[in-house]
Structure 1
Amino acid sequence: MPLRVVIFNWRDMHHPEAGGAEKYIVTVAEGLAKRGHRVTFCTSAYPGALPEEVVNGVHYTRRGGRFGIYPRALVNGLLSLHRPDVVIDVQNGMPYLTPLVSRYPVVNLVHHVHKEQWPVTFGPRAAKAGWWIESRLAPWIYRSARYVAVSDSTRHELTLQGIDPDRVDIIHNGTDATPLDDTPRSVHPSLVVLGRLVPQKRVEYALDVVASLVGDMPDLTLDVVGSGWWEPHLRDHVEVLGIEKYVTFHGHVSEAEKHRLLAGAWVHLMPSLKEGWGLVVVEAGIHGTPTVAFREAGGPNDSIVHNRTGVLVGHDPREFTDAVRELLVDGEKRLRMSDEVARWVPQFHWDESVQRWEQVLEDAAAG
């Protein structure tokens, strides 16, 4: 029987700060709508956005700004207006706390725990308050709710907050991309980093890699794909390092251009402080492009098979640089990883992700 589903997420896919988390939940929303469910997506407003809009079967309602959406969702009683059978509350660090105002079943989606990110984004007091809300208050508020995590790493972090792992379903990211057979690999050593340009993505580490390697690899290039408020700082960092001619900032690009850049690169870099899964790992992998990432980021431990589909390193940035250097120099190892990652990532399908979400929501509504 079709469900009435209300989703609370602070951004939609067209938001200027949208990233992999938005790709995930929008794909799920559209997949559910295609299966006949009535889906309402409550999110924040942004310049140029319509307050009400239907896109690919999903009804979007946009109210409030980056933080204003949270109290407006509660105070305005949006849940009672839409009368859902089940609610998806996306906890991007700050939860909506919908169980406080909802008598409907709630499923809490968590991409990753933000313990390390709070101090990077906010001052000491705000970071301490944010972590208390995420780690103490939220587990109590959602004590009767089901959870969905996008990786085993995230489920493990949730258990450290006292959440029973039996209440947490794992539903991975998928991919709908296909290999670009007509896009040749770059003839020169090339790197790509893709994501929102914000401090926690630590794109500076990728820039430092270039500065360390260009002495031995004068034809090395780095494509920085994405946009965000941290971009001026990154451009300043490029200037300080003196690597302007090696680095290209592409800004926000189309899906086609994104995949062209991923397919052409030798290695994809993910220096992020934290990732729930790392959607771009799969998107790069479908084109045979291996990824180098940090173990401490969490999710890459699940989306990367170490030394087979990519490389996981410790917390030392020098180890990150050394791993990139080895892949660029050792062509045999890189090609072996390229073949293996291209065979490994097709197992992650969006259709399967949507089907699993449908089952979770039906169970929650029935319960």
Structure 2
Amino acid sequence: MSRAPHYRPSILLVNWRDTRHPEGGGSERYVERIAEGLVRLGYRVSIQCAGHDRAPSGDWVAGVRFRRRGNKFTVYLHALLAILRSDADVIVDVQNGMPFFSRLVARCPVLVLVHHVHREQWHSALGPFLGRIGWWIESWLAPRLYRRCRYVTVSNVTRDELGQLGVELRRTAVVPNGLDAPPAVTARRTQAPVLVAVSRLVPHKRLEHAIDLVAQLRPKWPDLRLELVGEGPWKEVLQQHAIDRGVQDSVVLHGWVDEQTKHEILAGAWVHLCPSVKEGWGIVIMEAAAHGVPTIAYRSAGGVAEAIVEHETGLLADDFDEFVRHADTLLRDRALRKAMGAAGRRRARQFSWEESLGAFETVLHGALRAGAEPRGR
């Protein structure tokens, strides 16, 4: 298909949420940073996502057009309608477990963006029956429906997991998360030991483990404090869990905070905890590293094993007992914390959104070329 010399390709991203959504997180930030970068490169970019009360049904942010329709269930129907009406050259189907089924109605190439595979989350989110259906859609139906599409993911771990579901490795490119340069902060490392976890407050983030860790270590560390930063439907559950474990006076739930406040809290902490069941990468791990704060996470949690360089920028645990031992080790060993913090700062400087944007655009060019090729009927 011929294009005018100054034609600006149009990209439509369909995503469950945006960063202003109460449950928005790192995956939404990835989508929006890439979208904003594509606008700077001359693309026309729209994001179709769920509606919510923190943003209007439609607006423009950094040159990106946002259309917010439906709730966390009906957003899929609204996305399909948007795809049908769209003149986009490429659809980016952001699969947070559930695909948008864009391949059924799209008249242009579809690029699939997957942050991580959700095998473990389906049961906790929807229960055993619906969870099995969700996992069947993600693990069996989606790989077949999108079998001719290119994929983008954020870590080699997720790329390999997609391969196990039948997505050919040659069709999957790894484009890691970038990192915003951390703002200048006034906070200094606290005198008393402080643990921090920055996360959406949802079941699969498993923040109960962070609270349980405080309960186990407080006899050794009576001044220990845990600061939880983030918002979500699990907030009251976590508050009650802290009460049940008798550590409510040692756990601070900040709720949602602005970026500057988040970085101030990170900068003052000794250790960052990421007890999540699964992460595609873990942007906050790199944000903590940029402030010289090492992270402890579970080895089985996917991309965290790439975001953390084990024994250099943080520690990985195989079970909860080891998670606690690692925290105790880092709290006791100031020299080790400092060494890991310095290594983390160096590593964080290796990541930028501009590099991620360049890699993503390369994949996008491949999809655009595929769309320009004549196809037999």
2:358 aligned residue: 355
**Stretches of structure 1 lacking an aligned partner (at least 5 in a row):** none
2:35 aligned residue: 29
- How far apart, in 1, do the equivalents of 2:40 and 2:20 lie? 20
1:115 aligned residue: 119
For residues 323-343 of structure 1, the C-alpha deviation after alignment (integer angstroms, 9 at most, x for no partner) is 000000011111110111111
For residues 11-62 of structure 1, the C-alpha deviation after alignment (integer angstroms, 9 at most, x for no partner) is 0111011011111101111111122110010001112432221111000111
2:240 aligned residue: 236
Which is further off, 177-186 or 1-10? 177-186
1:45 paired with 2:51, answer yes
2:324 aligned residue: 321
**Relative to structure 1, is the Cα distance of residues 344 and 22 closer, same or farther in structure 2, using a 3 angstrom cutoff?**
same
Query: Among 100, 113, 134, which residue is 2:138 paired with?
Result: 134
Counterpart of 1:122, as a letter, is L
1:332 paired with 2:338, answer no
Structure 2 length normalisation: TM-score? 0.95
- Give the 3-state SS of the residue equivalent to 1:124 in structure 2: helix
Query: Among 255, 258, 261, which residue is 2:259 paired with?
Result: 255
Q: CA deviation at 1:179?
A: 6.2
- How far apart, in 2, do the equivalents of 1:180 and 1:37 lie? 32
- How far apart, in 2, do the equivalents of 1:125 and 1:219 lie? 44
Cα RMSD (Å) of the superposition? Answer: 1.1
Q: CA deviation at 1:71?
A: 2.1
1:191 aligned residue: 195
Query: Among 305, 311, 330, which residue is 1:301 paired with?
Result: 305
Q: CA deviation at 1:2?
A: 2.8
1:1-367 to 2 correspondences below 5 Å: 2-74=8-80, 76=81, 78-178=82-182, 180=184, 182-314=186-318, 316-367=319-370
Answer yes or no: is the 8 Å Cα contact 2:185–2:263 preserved in 1. Answer: no
- How far apart, in 2, do the equivalents of 1:8 and 1:295 lie? 31
- How far apart, in 1, do the equivalents of 2:338 and 2:55 lie? 44
Answer yes or no: is the 8 Å Cα contact 1:291–1:310 preserved in 2. Answer: yes
Answer yes or no: is the 8 Å Cα contact 1:180–1:287 preserved in 2. Answer: no
- How far apart, in 2, do the equivalents of 1:201 and 1:288 lie? 23
- How far apart, in 2, do the equivalents of 1:348 and 1:118 lie? 31
Which is further off, 235-244 or 45-54? 45-54
Q: CA deviation at 1:183?
A: 2.5
- How far apart, in 2, do the equivalents of 1:318 and 1:179 lie? 35
For residues 166-202 of structure 1, the C-alpha deviation after alignment (integer angstroms, 9 at most, x for no partner) is 1100000111123646431111111000110011000
- How far apart, in 1, do the equivalents of 2:58 and 2:236 lie? 33
Counterpart of 1:335, as a letter, is K
- How far apart, in 1, do the equivalents of 2:338 and 2:56 lie? 46
- How far apart, in 1, do the equivalents of 2:153 and 2:87 lie? 25
- Give the 3-state SS of the residue equivalent to 1:116 in structure 2: helix
2:374 aligned residue: none
- How far apart, in 1, do the equivalents of 2:58 and 2:31 lie? 18
Answer yes or no: is the 8 Å Cα contact 1:179–1:287 preserved in 2. Answer: no
Counterpart of 2:10, as a letter, is R
- Give the 3-state SS of the residue equivalent to 1:118 in structure 2: helix
**Stretches of structure 2 lacking an aligned partner (at least 5 in a row):** 1-6, 371-377
Identity of aligned residues (%): 45
Answer yes or no: is the 8 Å Cα contact 2:20–2:54 preserved in 1. Answer: no
- Give the 3-state SS of the residue equivalent to 2:120 in structure 1: coil
- How far apart, in 1, do the equivalents of 2:309 and 2:269 lie? 19
Which is further off, 280-289 or 48-57? 48-57
**Relative to structure 1, is the Cα distance of residues 181 and 253 closer, same or farther in structure 2, using a 3 angstrom cutoff?**
closer
**Relative to structure 1, is the Cα distance of residues 48 and 220 closer, same or farther in structure 2, using a 3 angstrom cutoff?**
closer
For residues 281-340 of structure 1, the C-alpha deviation after alignment (integer angstroms, 9 at most, x for no partner) is 0011101100000011011111000000000110x2111011000000011111110111
- How far apart, in 2, do the equivalents of 1:150 and 1:264 lie? 28
- Give the 3-state SS of the residue equivalent to 1:122 in structure 2: helix
2:4 aligned residue: none
Q: CA deviation at 1:66?
A: 0.3
- How far apart, in 2, do the equivalents of 1:271 and 1:324 lie? 12
Q: CA deviation at 1:73?
A: 2.0
- Give the 3-state SS of the residue equivalent to 2:300 in structure 1: helix
For residues 58-108 of structure 1, the C-alpha deviation after alignment (integer angstroms, 9 at most, x for no partner) is 00111111010112322x2x1232211111100000000101001201110
